[in-house]
Amino acid sequence: MEILEYDQVDPKQVLALNLFSLGYALDAARVAVMREREARLAPFVALYGVHGGKVLGQVGVLETTVETASGPERFGALWAVATHPDAARQGIAEALVEEAHRRMRKRGLRWSFLTTSRSLVAHGLYLKAGYVDGADLGQAVAGDVANEESPADRGGEYTLVPGEEAQEPLIYALYQRSVSGRLGFIHRPPGFVQGAVAAGDLSWDELFLVHRDSEPVGYAVVSRRRGHACVRELRVLPGIERVDVLLAVRRAFQGPVLYQGACTQDELDGLRRAGFRQAAAGWGTLMVKNLAASTDRREAKALLGVSSGLLTFGGLDAT
């Protein structure tokens, strides 16, 4: 098997592989936009396992700045790990992951991360490659406003206002203020949201400004899905109760709300107290690997601010 880069393989085969394995339309046009707008993307985009001219596996590679307990540091990351169904369990993904790690080390990186779900077969692959579960990515569900009790007076002062491209500077300013003093994934560049929209990972229809007394105090990424609304990311200014804003989202959409973003037990407990009866860690996991030595889970948690409750991670940070 050869290990090649994106520009060395057939983009139509890459698209087919991603559709087969991930349901993800990674076509040539999307890659072109990502190269132009996605500052985290490796120059070679991804690594591919090729045998007999057929693309059998893929591992995407990113590099980004993470705010750690000891200061900002460049991290590598894996994304869009895929194996063709005809080549499953042949060690292709393992070989590609190891080559990705080799390239990260060559660039002087000490850490790599990824996001996945413990329910996926790939979780075992990452554990075998030396990753540990650094942070639980929780979720919570609040039912229909008319059918589930919750504090009636909570969240009433907040309204949701549809966002638009012209508001990108405001959204970025709100983002910067919301992550001040935090650790983790707080170093998004200006234009991050526009880049996500251009790449097809976000729609302006999903982005809402959160207002209190006509003043913007945050934003929410809310996807309308059949029968419910899904909050993929929520950023609010210091002093604003996240739970109150989620209750305002539920009121605005007049139906059940699924919130994906709770990273600590305190957050989950707060959601339960506010009427989100089903709140639990489990939709995903943020995994971390020390590229130079065996990974100590306690060290990783302290580094990212999990232990101190300072970790910041949003849906748009997921790989």
Residue ranges of domains in the chain = 2-136+286-317, 138-282
Domain 138-282 listed as CATH 3.40.50.300: no
pLDDT value, residue 147? 46
What is the amino acid identity at position 194? Q
Q: Evaluate the CA torsion angle 16, 17, 19, 25 in order and state its sign.
A: negative
Rounded to whole angstroms, the Cα distance separating 32 from 48 reads 18
pLDDT of residue 140: 83
Instruction: Please report how many Cα atoms fall inside a 13 Å half-sphere around the Cα of residue 209, on the Cβ side.
Output: 21
Domain topology for 2-136+286-317: Aminopeptidase (3.40.630)
Question: Whole-angstrom Cα distance, residue 132 to residue 134?
Answer: 6
Environment class of residue 241 by beta-carbon count within 10 Å: exposed (0-12), middle (13-18) or buried (19+)? middle
Tens-level pLDDT at each residue, the chain (319 residues)? 999 999 999 999 999 999 999 999 999 999 999 999 999 999 999 999 999 999 999 999 999 999 999 999 999 999 999 999 888 888 999 999 999 999 999 999 999 999 998 888 889 999 999 999 998 888 888 775 444 555 555 778 999 999 999 999 999 999 999 999 999 999 999 999 999 999 899 999 999 999 998 899 999 999 988 878 899 999 999 999 888 898 898 888 888 888 888 777 777 887 887 777 777 776 789 999 999 999 999 999 999 999 898 999 988 999 8
Q: Is there a shared CATH topology between the 2-136+286-317 domain and the 138-282 domain? A: yes
Q: Cβ-count burial of 39 within 10 angstroms (0-12 exposed, 13-18 middle, 19+ buried)? A: middle
**DSSP-assigned beta bridge partners for residue 68:** 71
Q: What is the DSSP string of 212-238?
A: ETTEEEEEEEEEEETTEEEEEEEEE-T
**pTM (predicted TM-score):** 0.91
The closest alpha carbon to 284, from 139, 77, 93, 132, belongs to 139
The confidence score (pLDDT) of residue 146 equals 45
Name the nearest CA neighbour of 216 among 189, 240, 197: 240
77 within 8 A of 112, measured Cβ to Cβ: yes
- Residue 144's pLDDT is what? 59
